[in-house]
Amino acid sequence: MSGTLLKRLGSRFGLGRAICLVLLAALVVLRIWDPAGIEALRSRTFDFYQRVEPRQASLRPAVIVDIDEASLKSVGQWPWPRTVLADLVNKLTRMGAAVIAFDIIFAEPDRMSPAVAAESFRNLDAATRAELGKLPNNDAVFAEAIRRSRVVLGESGHHLALADGLAPPPVVGFAMLGPDPKRFLINYPGLIGNIPALEGAAAGRGMLTIQPEPDGIVRRVPMAIVARDMLMPSLTLEMLRVVTGAGAFRISSDAAGVRGIAIPALDMPTDGNGQLWIHFAPYDPNRYVSAKDVLEDRLPTDRVSRKLVLIGTSAVGLRDIKATPIDPAMSGVEVHAQVLESILSKSVLARPGYAIGAELAITVLFALGIIALGPILGAAPMLGLGAVVGAALVAGSWLFFSEKRILFDATFPLLATFFVYLALIFINYFREQLQRHRIRTAFGQYLAPELVAQLAHSHEKLTLGGEDRNMSIMFSDVRGFTTISEMYKDDPQGLTTLMNNFLTPLTNAIIANNGTIDKYIGDAVMAFWNAPLHDAYHEVNACRAALEMLRQVEILNARREREAADNGQRFIPINIGIGINTGRCVVGNMGSDLRFNYSVLGDPVNLASRLEGQSKNYGVRIIVGSRTAQAVAGKFALLELDVITVKGKTEPETVYTVLGDAEVAASEGFITLKRVFDEMLKSYRARDFDAAEQLILRCREAVKPFGLDRLVDIYTLRIGSFQKEGPPVDWNGVFALETK
């Protein structure tokens, strides 16, 4: 009786609905587990919201005193003497800074203190050493400046139990509402702090530690951390405590974790681990002032007066880079400034504890609606209903963010209901196929043998590895690109336009001559021939492409010169060097299982790169290796340059330059140049340097139409040197390059 009832209920409810309920339950469990993929999708959605509507920084309570490149150039390399930092603190204090915080840790005594520095000087007489020892200690001077101001020093958590020699923590209380929050907070066994003399003088100490998400992006900053089993505030939280004069923090928590951290008049909602969600604002240089300007008294007082001052660095090599939702390379000190702005402008983001429950409830509600209505409604109405539901979820999530600054995840409810809907569709589809006994026919029609063969063939193409081929490889690079780029330091968009105008014709020249672009490396281009398609004339096509590239550069330079003259601007021509080499290489998909590129590897590739690097040294625009030259002999105006060994190799290579096509090769000027230069090389390598000297004088006249004065100068210097001192006994005419 019970079996019949269950069968009837099953027939009414439907197998599809039952399977979808099981799927829904599995999805709910998956969300509670919250694996990395789901968390990443949710986080990237919130990142997208911030990029669409970043925080508008109308309130600027914080200013960053930046130890930038100009400051290092003015004061000297880092670390600076602590007396300089004392001057910095004193000047900021006199300018009315509300509180000063260092995004720097002073973990060791200043090695530039007079007594310490004296120990490092050799042959220093005892009297001088004694006099230096009487001078004030730099750390003491710095500590006194800290003591006379309101300074918060930074500390950092460490995965090792490091904290010997630290000063006792400041007496700052934590009032706890709810269970002990330590078990929820980020915990470090060790603590890296400052020397005791400085920490004892500071008004506060806060944690600099910023914990990126698993994908490396900083979205949240811990407001409190457990380090060495001590409850420590963040740098920004401690700054707010010091400036408000508060004596304690209040941490609210429940069984699910931390709910928020507060000081009088400021309540900061956090996630369960005590981290604050930051609503980032775009980068603004007005957040920064140069430490150089402060030290030289060039900064208006109102830039610092009554501000929360953060001292950090943006100098290359010292900058602490953090990726954020709106900026892939934000300074760590700016992250702290953005935290202060968000808190004081009441613009912090919040993801309340009930958010997960609400998201799961919406997921279950919508999924049950699909399970109930799916078999009843047709496909088109269900699709329309799904579109309406999806739009409502997305709109609701966006409104919570834009109006309430609450992070509500719409991605999981959307995906879960979509999967349930998809499962319902496929279950119905397969059930119909089973009922009609056409499953095999349906699969046979869907996966035709030809399609399977094609997919199998494509799958093999996507595996790592390559094949051995004889190939020609080209490297091209711009000479003096730094000088050109300096002209556009205030117009980066103009530099981008120039590079596009430059790389486009070069690329077209390569592709028009059957080449394959391997990659662009800034202003450099790498290309190869004879792969993936076979090219029996790859050496010739590579040389043709090189000559066409030079022609296109000349056209571009002529146009740029006219434009510069019309606009009254400085004109610097673009000059390129090209290296071409031929040899056996491995070509194919190179990289990892997750990402790879179709590229080429092998010793001939390295030699081609080295040849391009020598084009400037020899004063030519194209250098080709011996195998390339042998293959194109008679088709281009080839001139032998030298026999060299490049750095890192011992085998000599005869290198040539291409001065033009077959028409140039047949010209009287080139024939004369080639004859005289070849004779000079023959005498030079035979150690007949007097004859070589006479011939090189004749070469100087012959090279003028081809602009090879630099090449003649090289051999003039070599011949003169060998005439005076003679070559080494084992000299065989090969010139070893010392640079790449």
The pTM of this model reads: 0.56
pLDDT band at 116 (very low <50, low <70, confident <90, very high): low
The pLDDT value given to residue 172: 64
Domain match, 230 and 132 both: yes
Q: Per residue in 382-398, pLDDT tens?
A: 777 778 888 888 999 99
Determine the Cα–Cα distance for residues 286 and 381; give it in Å rounded to an integer: 54
The more confident residue out of 740 and 39 is 39
- Does residue 278 sit within a domain? yes
Domain match, 318 and 385 both: no
Tokens 């179709």 -> residue: 598
| Residue 452 scores a pLDDT above 50 | no
Q: Per residue in 397-407, pLDDT tens?
A: 999 999 999 99
Task: Look at residue 113 and give its three-state secondary structure.
Answer: coil
Domain match, 14 and 72 both: no
- Does residue 416 sit within a domain? yes
The pLDDT value given to residue 248: 85
Q: Which of 4-8, 21-25, 454-458, 708-712 has the highest mean pLDDT?
A: 708-712
| Residue 138 scores a pLDDT above 80 | yes
Going from the C-alpha of 723 to that of each of 687, 689, 695, 736, the distances in angstroms are 9, 6, 14, 19
Phi, psi angle pair for 192, to nearest 5°: -105, 120
Determine the Cα–Cα distance for residues 85 and 113; give it in Å rounded to an integer: 13
Q: Per residue in 498-509, pLDDT tens?
A: 888 889 899 889
pLDDT band at 416 (very low <50, low <70, confident <90, very high): confident
Residues 6+ apart with CB under 8 A from 436: none
Residue range 540-559: mean pLDDT, rounded = 94
Going from the C-alpha of 487 to that of each of 246, 523, 569, the distances in angstroms are 52, 15, 10
Burial environment of residue 530 by CB neighbours within 10 A (0 to 12, 13 to 18, 19 or more): buried
How many residues are listed for the chain in this entry? Answer: 740
Pairing of strands 575-591, 596-601: antiparallel
- Does residue 644 sit within a domain? no
| Residue 83 scores a pLDDT above 70 | yes
The pLDDT value given to residue 461: 41
Count: domains in the chain: 2
Q: Which of 95-99, 373-377, 616-620 has the lowest mean pLDDT?
A: 373-377
Determine the Cα–Cα distance for residues 128 and 705; give it in Å rounded to an integer: 68
Of 415, 446, 477, the residue that ends a domain is 446
pLDDT band at 449 (very low <50, low <70, confident <90, very high): very low
- Does residue 585 sit within a domain? no
Domain match, 201 and 322 both: yes
Going from the C-alpha of 188 to that of each of 274, 570, 572, the distances in angstroms are 14, 57, 56
Of 414, 446, 478, the residue that ends a domain is 446
Domain match, 252 and 162 both: yes
Q: Cα angle vertex 390, ends 388, 395, to 5°?
A: 95
Considering only CA atoms, which of 487, 667, 616 is closest in space to residue 564? 487
- Does residue 625 sit within a domain? no
Domain match, 256 and 166 both: yes
Domain match, 161 and 290 both: yes
- Does residue 524 sit within a domain? no
Domain match, 142 and 258 both: yes
The more confident residue out of 484 and 391 is 391
The pLDDT value given to residue 549: 95
- Does residue 147 sit within a domain? yes
Tokens 């190939």 -> residue: 471
Residue range 244-250: mean pLDDT, rounded = 87
The pLDDT value given to residue 165: 53
pLDDT band at 378 (very low <50, low <70, confident <90, very high): low
The pLDDT value given to residue 568: 84
The pLDDT value given to residue 64: 95
Residue range 119-126: mean pLDDT, rounded = 65
Tokens 């390559």 -> residue: 466
| Residue 17 scores a pLDDT above 80 | no
For residues 484-494, b (16+ Cβ closer than 10 Å) or e, as one string?
bbebeeeeeee
Domain match, 149 and 236 both: yes
Strand (E) positions, 306-424? 308-313, 321-322, 330-331
**Taking the chain, what is the end-to-end CA distance rounded to the nearest angstrom?**
89
Q: Which of 159-168, 289-298, 525-534, 547-556 has the lowest mean pLDDT?
A: 159-168
pLDDT band at 480 (very low <50, low <70, confident <90, very high): confident
Longest dimension (CA), the chain: 119
The pLDDT value given to residue 451: 31
Going from the C-alpha of 336 to that of each of 239, 240, 548, the distances in angstroms are 10, 12, 53
**Residue 542, H or E segment:** helix 538-567
pLDDT band at 521 (very low <50, low <70, confident <90, very high): confident
Domain match, 250 and 289 both: yes
Q: Per residue in 671-717, pLDDT tens?
A: 999 999 999 999 999 999 999 999 999 999 999 999 999 999 999 99
Phi, psi angle pair for 113, to nearest 5°: -60, 140
Left if phi > 0, otherwise alpha if psi is -120 to 50, otherwise beta: which for 178? left
Domain around 332: 62-344
Q: In what order do the strands lie in the sheet with 248-254?
A: 173-177, 248-254, 257-263, 266-269
Residue range 1-24: mean pLDDT, rounded = 62
Cα 660 to chain center, whole Å? 41
The pLDDT value given to residue 446: 27
Going from the C-alpha of 69 to that of each of 284, 291, 298, 309, the distances in angstroms are 18, 10, 17, 19
| Residue 23 scores a pLDDT above 50 | yes
Domain match, 107 and 31 both: no
| Residue 589 scores a pLDDT above 80 | no
| Residue 13 scores a pLDDT above 60 | no
Sign of CA dihedral 113, 116, 122, 125: positive
- Does residue 89 sit within a domain? yes
Residue range 468-497: mean pLDDT, rounded = 85
Domain match, 193 and 271 both: yes
The pLDDT value given to residue 445: 30
